[in-house]
Structure 1
Amino acid sequence: MRSDVQQQIISIIAREAVLEPEDVQPSMTLDELGLDSLGLVEMIFAIEEAFDISVPFNANEPAQSEFDISSVGAIIGAVERLICGQRPEIVA
């Protein structure tokens, strides 16, 4: 069972990838979802807005970012850690 935070992140990713949320699996990569660099940036902005957090992400050098975008599951984990650090009341 997915938490509300996980469901919201998956919904954001699905919207940017023009997919249904049930088609987005934690093991999927952004390439598998068909997200390009613009979609990635839009996804990051949407996540920041939805959770009122700041994502430490450099779209020009994603490999050097602290924010792991290797898979949907990695993005969920990274967002959950940011929420715990920046907005603990959301996950309490």
Structure 2
Amino acid sequence: MSESIQDRVIAIIAEQAVLEPGDVSLDQTLEDLGIDSLGLVESIFAIEEAFDISVPFNANDPSESDFDISSVAAIIQAVQGLVADQAA
């Protein structure tokens, strides 16, 4: 059975934070995990590559982006939406 989107996103975020996936919880923010702006951009690139999607993210102004990075759960939900849109 293939990994779920949630598991894959958590693995990518954990790798950027230099943590084990089990140490990442859904309610944490990237800041909580010690991921800085460069780590965020690297995470976005890794997510795009892993799921073959294009993330609508403005690294210069994340608050103006359509991609919610407010928590791990929000990132997972946004990726699930992009993957579903691509499949449709």
Question: If the TM-score is normalised by the length of the shorter chain, which range does it land in?
Answer: over 0.9
Question: TM-score of the superposition, structure 2-length normalised?
Answer: 0.94
List alignment gaps of at least 5 residues for structure 1. Answer: none
- Map of 2:20 onto structure 1: 20
Higher helix share: 1
Q: How well do the aligned residues superpose, as a CA RMSD in angstroms?
A: 1.0
The count of aligned residue pairs is 86
Q: Percent identity?
A: 64
CA offsets 1:5-39 (integer angstroms, 9 cap, x no match): 10000000000111100000000001100000000
Provide the C-alpha distance between the structure 2 equivalents of 1:87 and 1:52, rounded to a whole number of angstroms.
11
Spell out, residue by residue over 1:53-86, the C-alpha distance to the aligned partner (whole angstroms, 9 max, x if none): 0000000100000000000000000000000001
Output the CA distance in 2 between the equivalents of 1:75 and 1:85.
Answer: 15
- Residue 74 of structure 1 is matched in structure 2 by 74
Unaligned runs of 5+ in 2: none
Specify the alignment match of 1:83 in structure 2: 83
Equivalents in 1 of 2:34, 2:86: separation in Å?
30
Q: Which runs of 4+ in 1 moved over 3 A?
A: none
Q: Return the alpha-carbon distance in structure 2 between the equivalents of residues 4 and 30 of structure 1.
A: 20
CA shift, 1:4, in A, is 1.2
**Could you say what secondary structure the match of 1:55 adopts?**
coil
